[in-house]
Structure 1
């Protein structure tokens, strides 16, 4: 029996529907269930052919469990080794090398010294930074946000240099990005599953949270194809099996704003019924594909093109 597990936290609608979607098909030799962990022993298999990870970004114990599971053959979605290494600034840097438009972005050292460091720990850092060059590059208005993490936490919109220094003083030990504001005409949030299945959803981030998927943008077939290509290209290089890409369209050009969302929102109350049904059905379809191709004891992870080209390993899609 090949088991497909889902590891999750407080969310309920997606995990329950995902399990039901797979089990309702009554596939020979495949079953889905919530992951159950009663002990984690080094080098011992998890018992799952596939695990969908929805929570390890917040629980280090789960991340360690998933790495052990992956090492012993489980196809973990998303790859916990890459997810542990990935962050938003690197993603933007990578986008510039694969011809995906992104906002002008710089990374900033934390306002406060990291714990267990002192001024002497930063012998290579200029003081002051070239603030004139930084502000000239990004312009104003600009956004400041953590270089890792998500959920619109610690995000600032800034209109001036004074705004920046006042806000930066509040960020403590967080490493922040400063990013050009893209004043968009249209905005889209795009699911990408398995590096091949894409759903482009009109999205209005300026609306209240529960109304953000209520948007009437109507892209042409040509624009849809262009956005799908961007979404697929990014996920091919990053190697994510389950991700969302946010695209802001300015002057007809789709800019990738946020594309490091490996546990993207999939709750029916926020994404809406049609999007929810698509993500449940497509995630279940891909998990079944991974279970059917599972080879015990082998590396069943997806590795992105960036890692593949560096290592010589053949890409999985």
Structure 2
């Protein structure tokens, strides 16, 4: 088991956040804990790591790192975010869960991939009706609508569709991607919200229609009641899912916040895109939470965060 109180950050191409995080932890910890860029020179089964806390910013793209983190967690490391849960989670399940816990979400359906997955044939889909009940699906969602991957982040392969003809044309371009078809929420305001540790929340005006470098240059002002509702919803979403570090996006229609996207376990934290004020907040609170995890570390126990959804299942309790 790890006995030192080291905090490591695992990352890829990003630069501003990892260095600022390490510097902030080391400043706040005042020698009690040490933060550094995580280094891996070997990974043997069942072997412990020197890190009590690991902040994961890249394993969603690198399966080798994901395997390393699961082994580290097995040996007591507190991994932010839980690599077992983030391996299992996706956007459609998030929406399904939201409908059970009182979070407003757009009407959404999941679609099988247009092309057959590798190593499958038509026989692999004998339980799938063909064609799907498109009339009922389209009546439920209505157009205009959005189509986007059920897993994955960013704005890749996202389509705004005006009608059925455009839907079928664009769906044919998605190949083996499993897609969501989602009601368009015509919004008056839009917000992106950091949530760290299931308790620290930063609500940021956001304009998704702007160019990427200008999306945080938004000037929406929420009413006190809307601000309260969004904070409550952000906390509920993350506490049920069990994310230590996530963002939730709200499209606000007639003062009602609809959660549009809340499966972002590696949210953008780059200073150039989020702006100095938001950057300072996320660095400060990520460092503070990592120190809290290190202070509560117990090498003989599981130190991962498990959401209320999993906790209720294990304890055989009523879920909702």
State the partner residue of 1:39: 42
Matched, 1:243 2:246: yes
State the partner residue of 2:51: 48
Deviations 1:38-75 (A, max 9, x none): 00011111110000000000000000000000000000
How far 1:251 sits from its partner (Å)?
A: 1.1
Aligned-partner Cα distance in 2 for 1:277–1:228? 19
State the partner residue of 1:286: 289
Q: What is the aligned residue count?
A: 314
Aligned-partner Cα distance in 2 for 1:297–1:47? 14
Aligned-partner Cα distance in 2 for 1:102–1:282? 28
Matched, 1:106 2:109: yes
Q: TM-score by structure 2 length?
A: 0.97
Query: Pick from 289, 296, 299: which aligns with 1:296?
Result: 299
Aligned-partner Cα distance in 2 for 1:297–1:212? 44
Matched, 1:80 2:83: yes
Matched, 1:129 2:132: yes
Matched, 1:226 2:264: no
State the partner residue of 1:89: 92
Structure 1 SS opposite 2:110: strand
Deviations 1:120-172 (A, max 9, x none): 11111001000000000100000000000011110010000000000000011
Aligned-partner Cα distance in 1 for 2:152–2:28? 36
Query: Pick from 206, 210, 217: which aligns with 2:209?
Result: 206
State the partner residue of 1:24: 27
State the partner residue of 1:261: 264
Q: Which runs of 5+ in 1 are unaligned?
A: none
Deviations 1:101-120 (A, max 9, x none): 00000000000111111111
Higher mean displacement: 17-26 or 278-287: 17-26
Query: Pick from 132, 139, 154: which aligns with 2:157?
Result: 154
Aligned-partner Cα distance in 2 for 1:229–1:212? 24
How far 1:313 sits from its partner (Å)?
A: 8.7
CA contact (8 A) 2:248 2:261 kept: yes
Please tell me the root mean square deviation across aligned C-alpha atoms, in Å.
1.0
Q: TM-score by structure 1 length?
A: 0.98
Query: Pick from 124, 144, 164: which aligns with 2:147?
Result: 144
Aligned-partner Cα distance in 2 for 1:237–1:26? 30
How far 1:27 sits from its partner (Å)?
A: 2.7
Q: Which runs of 5+ in 2 are unaligned?
A: none
Correspondence 1:4-15 to 2 at 5 A = 4-15=7-18
Aligned-partner Cα distance in 2 for 1:70–1:209? 35
Higher mean displacement: 116-125 or 76-85: 116-125
Aligned-partner Cα distance in 2 for 1:27–1:211? 36
Deviations 1:144-202 (A, max 9, x none): 00000011110010000000000000011110000000000000000000000000000
Query: Pick from 1, 5, 15: which aligns with 1:2?
Result: 5
Structure 1 stretches of at least 4 aligned residues deviating more than 3 Å after TM superposition: none
State the partner residue of 1:174: 177
Residues 174 and 26 (structure 1), Cα distance of their counterparts in 2 relative to 1, 3 Å cut: closer
Aligned-partner Cα distance in 1 for 2:226–2:267? 23
